[in-house]
């Protein structure tokens, strides 16, 4: 419980505070503390004691309080080293009763700790904000590095692909569907199933552009080169577009 062990003189004063002073407000404070932290506290008996407090014949010892309510915030020990002990919350309340200066110092210390706490929270918030920006930059740089298509080599451009689908795959992903499957044997789906939203947007555009180039009877190798350049340009534009990320 963290109950402080009061010196004998203070212990006797505290006993007097409970038994003789018997302020209704003090009993209410201790009772509410018990209600908050003591699951077996007899709140009904507490109500009876509270209503009787302040009358001329009202007497309440710590022992009576504990026996009637099952309180845990106060303890009373008999004998040479006995005394009345309390949880630190109740001890603070007692200290403020016997010393206005103690109350002022306690309030001052509380305010100082709150200022320190707020300063730490501000520092932590600023640190998290900066760290978030750094992580975002690292993440976006990694995306750009891995998502922006590479310029195809001469051998890739001159190679005749079996289908127009693989022509588009080469322009955007730099590999055919079968090449991707060989590199990712444990992954379900296909190369396009694993594409990002930006890649899918560019792929849709490439399909339209490729259809137009076919109508113009442009050779396959030349179409691949042009589609690859379009894919690079559009991916760079999309990855730098903050409005697109807001839609995701």
The SS3 of residue 149 is coil
User: Domain residues of the chain, as ranges?
Assistant: 8-98, 101-146, 148-247
More confident residue, 42 or 25: 42
Q: What is the pLDDT of residue 137?
A: 53
- What mean pLDDT value characterizes the chain? 75
Q: What is the pLDDT of residue 4?
A: 46
Q: Tell me the per-residue pLDDT of 144-164, one tens digit each, with 9 for 90 and over.
A: 555 567 788 888 877 767 688
Distance CA 205, CA 52 (A): 85
More confident residue, 19 or 169: 169
pLDDT reading at 38 higher than 60: yes
Q: What is the pLDDT of residue 148?
A: 66
Give the predicted TM-score (pTM) of the model: 0.41
Per-residue pLDDT band for 187 (boundaries 50, 70, 90) equals confident
Concatenated DSSP letters for 58-89?
Answer: ----HHHHHHHH---SEEEE-STT-EEEE-HH
The pair of three-digit structure tokens given for residue 83, joined into one six-digit string: 């005394």
Rg (CA), the chain: 39
Distance CA 47, CA 39 (A): 16
Q: What is the pLDDT of residue 138?
A: 46
**Exposed / middle / buried, residue 236 (Cβ in 10 Å: 0-12, 13-18, 19+):** middle
Beta bridge partners of 84: 76
Task: Provide mean pLDDT across the span 170-184.
Answer: 90
Q: Tell me the per-residue pLDDT of 53-103, one tens digit each, with 9 for 90 and over.
A: 777 777 777 888 888 889 888 887 776 766 777 788 887 777 776 677 877
Beta bridge partners of 85: 75
The pair of three-digit structure tokens given for residue 55, joined into one six-digit string: 């009358």
Q: Tell me the per-residue pLDDT of 200-229, one tens digit each, with 9 for 90 and over.
A: 888 888 888 888 888 888 888 898 999 999
pLDDT reading at 126 higher than 70: no
Q: Tell me the per-residue pLDDT of 2-15, one tens digit each, with 9 for 90 and over.
A: 444 444 444 445 55
Per-residue pLDDT band for 243 (boundaries 50, 70, 90) equals low
Task: Provide mean pLDDT across the span 217-246.
Answer: 81
pLDDT reading at 232 higher than 50: yes
């Amino acid at each position: 419980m963290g109950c402080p062990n009061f010196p004998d003189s203070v212990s006797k004063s505290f006993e007097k505070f409970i038994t003789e002073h018997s302020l209704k407000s003090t009993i209410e404070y201790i009772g509410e503390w018990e209600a908050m932290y003591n699951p077996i506290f007899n709140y009904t008996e507490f109500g009876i004691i509270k209503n009787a407090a302040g009358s001329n014949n009202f007497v309440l010892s710590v022992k009576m309080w504990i026996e009637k309510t099952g309180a845990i915030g106060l303890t009373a020990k008999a004998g040479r080293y006995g005394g009345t002990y309390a949880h630190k919350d109740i001890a603070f309340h007692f200290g403020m009763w016997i010393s206005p200066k103690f109350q002022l110092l306690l309030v001052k210390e509380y305010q100082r700790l709150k200022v320190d706490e707020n300063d730490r929270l501000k520092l932590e918030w600023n640190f998290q904000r900066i760290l978030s920006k750094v992580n975002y930059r690292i993440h976006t740089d990694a995306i750009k590095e891995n998502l922006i298509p590479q310029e195809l080599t001469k051998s890739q451009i001159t190679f005749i692909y079996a289908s127009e689908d693989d022509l588009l795959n080469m322009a955007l992903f730099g590999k055919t569907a079968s090449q991707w499957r060989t590199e990712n044997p444990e992954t379900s789906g296909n190369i396009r199933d694993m594409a990002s939203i930006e890649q899918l947007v560019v792929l849709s555009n490439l399909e339209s552009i490729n259809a137009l180039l076919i109508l113009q009877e442009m050779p396959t190798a030349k179409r691949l080169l042009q589609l690859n350049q379009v894919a690079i340009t559009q991916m760079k534009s999309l990855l730098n577009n903050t409005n697109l990320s807001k839609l995701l």
